[in-house]
Amino acid sequence: MNRRQVLKNLGLGATALVATPTILSLLQSCTNEPEFIPSFLTKEEGHALRRMVDLIIPSDEAIPGAVDVGVHQFIDSYWDQVATLENQSQIKLGFSALASQFQTTFNKPLGEGKDEDFDQLLTKYLKSTIEQEQAYEKKLGAFYQAYQNNKSTVPDPDAGSYSLVQNIRGMTIWGWKTSEEIGENVLAYEPIPAQQIGCLPVSEATGGKAYSL
């Protein structure tokens, strides 16, 4: 089983992120409310998601971060309204693995996690060595094979956490770049493409900004 397939089997599951009108509408409806009440995740899982999303793309004085544009709400709503039942089951397995690993590492539940705790986990799983990634993927491959025959099978906490965090990062980046605020006011926005000009430096074409579309 190759790496691409393994990473799809837990966390986000096999659902591909495609900017359909329904998903874009879902994304644009999300905002950063004072209190995040998830619709799919538990309150503790939602706390973990919000913290990780904020750490993956934090805000600064000039550009709003992922939480500022409601990416954590979008991810939770996407899992609740778009993900298949199979995907949802795997997402829950991923969070169970994360909760287990969090308890082992910090001796407290997800709901009590601080920024520094989640930053440590993100560093561990997003900056893994090639050898560590291969070890995680081997365990994930074994889990997935067993899961096909027995749905009560659970993943290794370390490998499951790695897969979930990788998928959350991907969804965070996608949701942030696709949001209305970032797409129209931060990135280069051209809803109706004009003429094609080849060999033009990005610095000259858009002022160094990537296109949002």
pLDDT tens digits, 49-79? 999 999 999 988 878 889 998 999 999 999 9
Q: How confident is the model at residue 42 (pLDDT cuts 50, 70, 90)?
A: very high
The predicted model scores a pTM of: 0.78
Report d(CA 115, CA 129) in Å as an integer.
23
Q: Looking at the chain, which runs of residues are DSSP E strands?
A: none
- Looking at the domain assignment, is residue 26 inside a domain? yes
Beta bridge partners of 38: none
- Looking at the domain assignment, is residue 185 inside a domain? no
* Residue ranges making up the domain that contains 94: 3-178
- Looking at the domain assignment, is residue 130 inside a domain? yes
- Give the pLDDT of residue 69: 87
- Looking at the domain assignment, is residue 121 inside a domain? yes
- Give the pLDDT of residue 151: 87
- Looking at the domain assignment, is residue 57 inside a domain? yes
% the chain with pLDDT above 90: 51
- Give the pLDDT of residue 23: 61
Here the tokens at position 105 are 């590492």
- Give the pLDDT of residue 63: 83
- Give the pLDDT of residue 182: 63
Residue 187 has pLDDT above 70, yes or no: no
Indicate the number of domains in the chain.
1
- Looking at the domain assignment, is residue 202 inside a domain? no
- Residues with Cβ within 8 Å of 58's Cβ and at least 6 positions away in sequence, in order, are 65, 66
Here the tokens at position 3 are 């790496």
- Looking at the domain assignment, is residue 63 inside a domain? yes
- Looking at the domain assignment, is residue 208 inside a domain? no
Report d(CA 159, CA 149) in Å as an integer.
20
